[in-house]
Amino acid sequence: MRTRILLTLLASASWLSAALVPIHLRCEYLENPVAVETTLPRLSWEVTSAARGQSQTAYRVLVASSARKLAQDIGDLWDSGKVASGRTSQIEYRGQALRSRQEAYWKVKVWDKDDQPSAWSQPAQWTMALLEPSDWQAEWITFNQKAPFHTNRAELYLPPARYYRREFVPAKPVRRALWRATALGIYELQVNGRKVGDAYFTPGWTDYRQRVYYQTYDVTHLLKPGPNALGAIVAEGWYSGYLAYGLLVGLGPHKTGRDIYGRTPALMAQLELEYRDGSREIVPTDGSWKTTSLGPEREADILMGEVYDARLEMPGWSRAGFDDRQWEPVLPAAIYSHQMAPFFDNEGRVRMMDFGFIRPAKLEAYPAPPVRVTQEIKPLRITSPTNNVYIFNLGQNFAGIVRLKVKGPAGTKITLRYGEMLYPDGRLMTENLRKARATDTYILKGDPKGEVWSPRFTFHGFQYVEVTGLPGKPEPDTITGLVLHSDVPLKSSFQCSDPVINRLFQNIVWTQRANFLELPTDCPQRDEREGWMGDAQIYARSATYNADVAAFYSKWLREVVEAQFDYGPYPDYCPYPFMVGRGGVATGWTDAGIIVPYTVWKVYGDTRLIDRMWPSMTRFMQWRRKVAKDYLGIAHPDGNGYGDWLNLNEPTPLDYLDTIYFGYTTRLMAEMAAALGRSEEAADYQDLFQKIRKAFTTKYVKPDGTFTVDTQTAYATAIYSGVLPEELREKAGARLAQKIKERDHRMATGFLGTQPLLPALTASGHHDLAVRLFQSRRFPSWGFEVEQGATTIWERWDSYTKEFGFNGAAGNQNASMNSFAHYAFGAVCEWMFVTLAGVDTARDGFRQLVLKPHPPTPGSNPENPPISWVKVAYDSINGPIKVHWQRNSGVFDYAVTLPANTTATLYLPASRLEAVFEDGKPLAKARGVKILGFENQRAILELGSGSYRFTSLVTP
């Protein structure tokens, strides 16, 4: 009997592990969001199973108006019924019309390949945002702005943060309380003395005249019966603080680089109380609030830093009963309309503009993950280059702030300066910060128990912290690094036989984390931090492997559309604060408005995004057609000639690059038009692409297959973009390889040429050379940076060298133009996953995969042992993918795990089909494997989901 029971239990456990289980439910890419803007939200989930070849054949979604109804399987908002479909993402809600503040509780069950249903998933939920302007009762409030416009570029103007408060008493027992808040500036909220949420720099950076976001917080647990208090702190942020390089070059009002969008920050918020009896009450910002500038944040600038005087703290200021008689009444923000000043823009023009309160045209719920502290870093060592000056080396370059822990007399002033590097004598290197002061100051209140402080309205890019003014010698916990970035989930890992490459991968991820802060910036440390479009489009595909950036990019692309020039092209960076009206454009930068949304669609299957952007992208392509000459690109007469930025003395003409990008964006538009069912437009773009190809070949390709533009970047971009016809790829690749060998096996490419270089070499039959470049330790190379001590990707290959310091290998570098956290050259990560590891999507959304590993030939690299094994993991929108390949002499081992509900075409290196085995069995006996053929020394196999282990004989 016991044996029979055991066998029954084992059989049951086996069935359960093989069953299809829906997990990881999300709405609009987010888990349980509390403010969904769209009335047709998209739902997604993953399915998991231990069995091979398991797939979803149908699903049923239930959406209920309450958790109780959902538990009773009542979908009063939407019951999709059983839908025959394998889709698990981009599932559009099709139920009852949703209203503002609507709570929706949902779950899903799925049917597997044998039409067996799963159990219901765990429940998830979302709450609708405010959908109508009338839903807002709050007013924009501000303070009595007595200071005149700042006009002196020689002096910094850094006003204190403003504090706001009011008290209220809930009329009845509260079921749920949601607090919605936004600001022209950046804000932090408190309720009854406790901070609300863990986000930084809310509401985020937008073109505030066109759009501002708000956040929604569930603060039910912070309220109590009787008197309650609401509090907010508002700093200038991107709205009116120092912004980018405005001060450096004299942009903005009075050339001061600040007050770019307006000169007086403002707050708008409303607390929405739902009582247990179903009634509601709103506590809005209005004339009943009070404000003061007497708080401890004496300076609070997102670029320059923060000064905090702890002696001025106001204990209990956000608690009921606080004595606020010294505080001022707030003013309606509209009182500061029509504040005129001369605005100086990028083109050297000046015009009178209004920098008073301008109500944003759109107010929308924030649609992406917020900026959060995601990690703490302890110092590796503490040094003292001079008396009473201490340098904390955190061992890793990153973006963020610090936590200071200190004890000392009241009035003691501690200054913290930040830098990415040190001079040889141990001093902090700050030249590359330019006008960014990047300095925080803390003034002690004299607490005998000690004091702990972190700035809240600024961030820095740094590895080293210089601390002066400590009342004694530092302790190991005096400084702790707090890593800040948009909290996009990290999704991948990469390891291989080369430890330098393993460090490179870490550097790439760290650089992405440092720059994916609110928008994809160029660098986090100096006076820039803008959404540079060239960097963004180069790196977009790499970004999708390292993190789930669907919501992050979708949010930023709204700012891209809003920054678009009225005549069609996109600006160099978005948002675009220093230009009003017509501006110059840059080839390869402006094209990000097509390439980034294409990438999001390709990786996440997001057709709604490209449909939303279609009018904007169409305007861009109309401009491209209009300025083209005989289907060829041009060197734009009013453009910014960045070209192949930071190439190594091998520039590529702008008209050539413009032709490449004209063709490339046209090809991508054809694909996206087809995905949207716009068949006529798809045909039109495909026809245009062929005409561009023909014009390109006629002008630039010589009879022997070489180009009239003979640069590494010219060949790499032509091959990668597809503008070069396939039949000419081999000859072009041969010339590209020859040019690299002529430079002693070194690159000469810049931003536009480096990203496609290794893919072009592999695609044209020179993979071993690609791997050799990839593994090189010689200047210029990724390994060179690593061996110089890099912990992130540098803007320039020789931003620092052990031999020449900050002067560069050629002795001609500009130390003030050296970012040590610049992800553009980290775009090689795309090749690492797509080509070297061999993990790609065949169609949009990673449902159908292409697995095509590219091991280098043993002995092919005289400088370093060629990579002999690679192990990667990537958590796609359909679940985790794992690949581990290893090449030994004559044998190729390949292990792969595919998530349920996916299939893959595997191109496995092998000398012949009969020499391939799966788990020790011949292919004909391998379960879940279909033989498609054999070609070019590869067995071509179709795999269902599950885990597989292949071995094959290969040519030694």
> Checking DSSP bridges between strand 848-851 and strand 903-909, what pairing results, if any?
parallel
CA-based nearest residue to 396, from 942, 8, 821: 821
Helix ranges restricted to H, 450-591: 499-515, 533-546, 550-563
Q: Measured between alpha carbons, how far is 939 from 911 in angstroms, rounded to an integer?
A: 9
Q: Provide the residue type at 80 as one letter.
A: S
How many other CB atoms sit within 10 Å of the CB of residue 410?
11
Give 10's DSSP letter: H
Token reading at 882: 């794992």
Q: Measured between alpha carbons, how far is 864 from 287 in angstroms, rounded to an integer?
A: 70
Q: Is the peptide bond before 284 cis (omega within 30 degrees of 0)?
A: no
Question: Locate tokens 């003292």: which residue?
Answer: 384
Q: Measured between alpha carbons, how far is 825 from 835 in angstroms, rounded to an integer?
A: 17
Q: 135-168 burial by CB neighbour count: b if 16+ within 10 A, else e?
A: bbebbbbbbeeeeebbeebeebbbbbbbbbbbbb
Residues 279, 283, 286, 290, Cα dihedral to 10°: 150
Catalytic residue among 274, 466, 528, 785: 528
Question: Locate tokens 């299809």: which residue?
Answer: 20
Q: Provide the residue type at 168 as one letter.
A: F
Q: Measured between alpha carbons, how far is 951 from 956 in angstroms, rounded to an integer?
A: 14
Distances, alpha carbon 276 to alpha carbons 177, 227, 586, in Å:
11, 18, 58
Distance between alpha carbon 887 and the CA centroid of its chain, in Å? 34
Whether residue 593 contacts residue 615, with contact meaning beta carbons closer than 8 Å, is answered with no
> Checking DSSP bridges between strand 174-184 and strand 266-275, what pairing results, if any?
antiparallel
Burial (CB count within 10 angstroms: exposed 0-12, middle 13-18, buried 19+), residue 453 = buried
Q: Is 528 a catalytic residue?
A: yes
The helix (run of H) or strand (run of E) holding residue 562 is: helix 550-563
The helix (run of H) or strand (run of E) holding residue 553 is: helix 550-563
Question: Locate tokens 């863990």: which residue?
Answer: 198
Three-class SS state of 224:
coil
Q: What are phi and psi of 438, to 5 degrees?
A: 45, 50
Q: Measured between alpha carbons, how far is 673 from 503 in angstroms, rounded to an integer?
A: 40
Catalytic residue among 297, 299, 795, 830: 795
Give 34's DSSP letter: S
Burial (CB count within 10 angstroms: exposed 0-12, middle 13-18, buried 19+), residue 425 = exposed
Whether residue 718 contacts residue 656, with contact meaning beta carbons closer than 8 Å, is answered with no
How many other CB atoms sit within 10 Å of the CB of residue 248?
16
> Checking DSSP bridges between strand 362-365 and strand 211-218, what pairing results, if any?
parallel
Token reading at 670: 């054809």
Beta-bridged to residue 442, according to DSSP, are 308, 414
Q: What are phi and psi of 16, to 5 degrees?
A: -65, -40
Q: Is 46 a catalytic residue?
A: no
Token reading at 240: 């009116």
Return all residues near 876 (Cβ < 8 A) that are at least 6 apart.
491, 603, 841, 846, 899
Q: Measured between alpha carbons, how far is 416 from 812 in angstroms, rounded to an integer?
A: 31
> Checking DSSP bridges between strand 305-309 and strand 439-443, what pairing results, if any?
parallel
How many Å from the N-terminal Cα to the C-terminal Cα in the chain? 56
C-alpha count within 13 angstroms, C-beta hemisphere, residue 574 = 26
Q: Active-site residue numbers?
A: 528, 795
